[in-house]
Structure 1
């Protein structure tokens, strides 16, 4: 019932927003949206949802509004819902909502619920039309962590500056806060990673994010680097009902990115580095609980992807990527790694309707749940299909 009233409230807010915009500046309001439905199936294991038997619990929908209130001021918001197994359940949320003011080309201010830059594609991952594959490579863009890395409630400085023959520099610097519910994909991934623990709350400290991109003189070639810093903690209950708390200090994420678009070819590569100090201890006794207390450092050659795509015709595009993720290089077990070789086909039926098919050859168990018989396999396959309508 709470979800029903929330949906009614948000629907009313949408109507109110549209009414205000239409009366003030109707001809300038841009409205776009998308609806997608997918299907996931694995030959072994369960991944993201109940894929061992096949699952249609894989869909997304969103509608966004933007308008230029003045020549320098832009405002917008997006309402979004998704379902991925136990995550989302089609609950409508405000995905982003911002006011943006441009002082100069090299300096702008954005405030509100602002999309979080990480790598080249995190802030546009909602939009299927912008990529060949169904899933972005999980070594950098883990689908379960999407709800915690989608946006930040805070302020952002951004801008672009031409450097003549050397090309163009773009930057984003932001600070703010994010909220991660105990029933989020992030919580689900933690419960998979540490069996026997049930998340009860997740608290995230201030988040600081900075990204620089260099659009080089070579047409279609850009380089980028992203840095994110935060602290967070979570409370959980173990199998023996022992309350435990995890303190993650000095959590720092780095990503280095490269992309080259030439004619019908697109090549991209990114890596992911995570450094953090972590401690899990009993709330009652303060004693350390079965995990770790020290540095985790994901070396640059351990978490990365390479991706290549080619558009054959206006209606057919294909792509391949190799993705390798290692959660903790000190741990050599299969539960802490995932290698993914993905082959994708994209069919553009018309300008508003696309269909995608892809196959993943997987090696590893990170983020994997046992199959319906309680077994987890190191080598397995994931098959995915997705249809998206957009306007």
Structure 2
């Protein structure tokens, strides 16, 4: 009853605001040039309230509206074998992203080989990173299973490092009676020229610059007939170098992250079961005494179930776990060495949510999170780690419109 009373009044206010914001919107997608040019878009507004700590803005004891996504994308098939695609995006996420408009992706897709049994080709430009089941479409709320993706795999605080890269991607797809197999290999430069990227790594914004080597990205995806089964494996490596500023307490150092992600999903007529498991090897070296060398193997996983109990309604239940170091799961060794909270090294999140598709273009969502640990919180929203609380609750609402 105590938790409910803390949320009841803010929740009602949030729900009324979200519903009134989008209740009158309707639109259709634009197909031009005989259907060869397609233009789509979306806008999502989220509201967040937490009992303690801040997530996606100043949400501790108040309502944060600093979670917003606005995008317009277009695809144009020049000839049967060549397609151009691009998207402009404004993404607002508390202190980690200011909502400035940027090119989210922009690419040329050349299908070099094509038959009834499959196709193969090459993509060039700014590419969406293949990372688990959801990363390529994570900004479109209709494609997500929940308001926010599982933070053990798809961190909001490091989103800019993994969402896209500038480079090339080879892909091949094979179709059969039992399903399809897709393989892709990309080589691209991650986006590191942001304050958010530096804070995600150093928990502060030093005056130097991050530079990225070309990052390899491999994904294998099998989809059973009728999309009933989905199995995937993703391997990615980020290799970042730091060039110190004029007055800088950090030395020239190197940061390496190698996540391996195993994904699985089963879809029935009314329900779906999804799980992903990740091992992340991290290496920090050369930054000097203010950012000591370290090596760790992180572990993340989640299991979620969704049930469509009516044509326009869906409910969700998920357990999500993150450990920065699988050999120090409770963070006690880290706390003893740094005098920082042990619970900042892990997070375990129980989530329940509901989705209502008012129309095919307009969606409402609500979620409740019960969290133990602060491992996925952003330093920009929580600058003083000693004010964090281990156990906290969060309620979220989202309205999303697409055309």
Q: Structure 1 length normalisation: TM-score?
A: 0.83
Q: CA-to-partner distance for each residue in 1:351-389, whole Å, 9 max, x for gaps?
A: 111111101110112143659996211000111111111
Q: What residue ranges of structure 1 are gaps of 5+ in the alignment?
A: 1-20, 283-287
How big is the shift at 1:94? Answer: 0.4
Q: 1:311/1:174 Cα in 2 relative to 1: closer, same or farther (>3 Å)?
A: same
Q: Report what 2:181 is aligned to.
A: 169
Q: What residue ranges of structure 2 are gaps of 5+ in the alignment?
A: 1-30, 332-341
Q: Report what 1:9 is aligned to.
A: none
Q: Report what 2:290 is aligned to.
A: 289
Q: Does 1:375 align with 2:387?
A: yes
How big is the shift at 1:225? Answer: 0.3
The answer to whether the 8 A contact 2:351-2:368 is kept is yes
Q: CA-to-partner distance for each residue in 1:160-182, whole Å, 9 max, x for gaps?
A: 113555x3211111111122233
Q: Does 1:46 align with 2:54?
A: yes
Q: Report what 2:400 is aligned to.
A: 388
Please identify, of 114-123 and 215-224, the stretch whose mean Cα deviation from structure 2 is larger: 215-224
The answer to whether the 8 A contact 1:96-1:114 is kept is yes
Q: Aligned equivalents of 1:214 and 1:373: distance in 2?
A: 42
How big is the shift at 1:316? Answer: 1.1
Q: CA-to-partner distance for each residue in 1:163-208, whole Å, 9 max, x for gaps?
A: 555x321111111112223322x3333354xxx6646432211110
Q: Does 1:32 align with 2:40?
A: yes
Q: Report what 2:198 is aligned to.
A: 187
Q: Report what 1:279 is aligned to.
A: 285
Q: Does 1:210 align with 2:218?
A: yes
RMSD: 2.4
Q: Aligned equivalents of 1:175 and 1:197: distance in 2?
A: 27
Q: Aligned equivalents of 1:276 and 1:191: distance in 2?
A: 13
Q: SS of the residue aligned with 1:152?
A: strand
Q: SS of the residue aligned with 1:187?
A: helix
Q: Aligned equivalents of 1:316 and 1:243: distance in 2?
A: 52
Instruction: Identify which of 57, 67, 72 aligns with 1:58.
Output: 67
Q: Aligned equivalents of 1:44 and 1:130: distance in 2?
A: 29
Matches within 5 A, 1:62-211: 62-104=71-113, 105-165=118-178, 167-184=179-196, 186-192=197-203, 198=206, 200-211=208-219
Q: Structure 2 length normalisation: TM-score?
A: 0.81
